[in-house]
Structure 1
């Protein structure tokens, strides 16, 4: 993917790591295969894409690029829903890796910034992809106030429009009413 971006577009100035998955299962019922799938996408792929984007920026002398991780409120607290607790563990790793990368970037004396956006429940296909039926996902989205995908987009725009001397490290997003 990054070779194609380099060939067709010249390189990466902004990388938004938005992929993530959960397999709806408790810690007592989950399998190593399920955990590896979540770790591979939520953590390892995020790290690989981040590394490749930074390599692209450095190769071209981009000193004002930006990496944005779409994290989760689950990266800051453990959900009361047992089916997504391993997912929360992977997102806690994203929270830690975001801070670790911020520190590494400061040590290289670059102006490239790292940010995370950590929403609560967002009404998307995520619940169905995690193993809930369409009916159960619809019920979940009706029971819990949700933020919308457009709300995340607005936060991405906010992060990218910050002045070069401002590091927006993490935005935690919840609906005004409903979620704790």
Structure 2
């Protein structure tokens, strides 16, 4: 993977470990020569992951909608910065630039990005690894929900396996490195790709 997109909150959150781990993830990406693709903000966990990457010599690629740029939260120090017309266009651009995806703690926006990229993977539109960095159990309830969906036969086993997770940066990155997409998506079965 040459680029990883990180979805995360525009706030720091309650647990100090969120910011610490976001900064460490950015530093780790820089150490491995992996460019960071992210939401383009200089605040919250987004700002922390970008700072961790940049401070350690990594490449930072920001993608921010024009209306958010207007409120002066844009990270103007990013190596590359793309402005989009909408949130949907932002997700499309981040996907096009990325060879892997990681979600850190966040709110509705982070969940939207994560669930959309998982849906694209389920349909076979994305073939890259998708992971959760489960800092201090932040995603335990979400993981339980996805398992509940699977138990109730609303999420197939193969689709549940699309989401990788670990509570450790190195463990998650290794799982992502080892990930091999299965050719059994909905669209593959329809021979549309």
Could you tell me the TM-score, scaled by structure 1's length? 0.35
- Which of the pair has more CA radius of gyration? 1
- Work out which structure has the larger RCO, using CA pairs closer than 8 Å and 6 or more positions apart in sequence: 1
More strand by share: 2
Could you tell me the TM-score, scaled by structure 2's length? 0.33
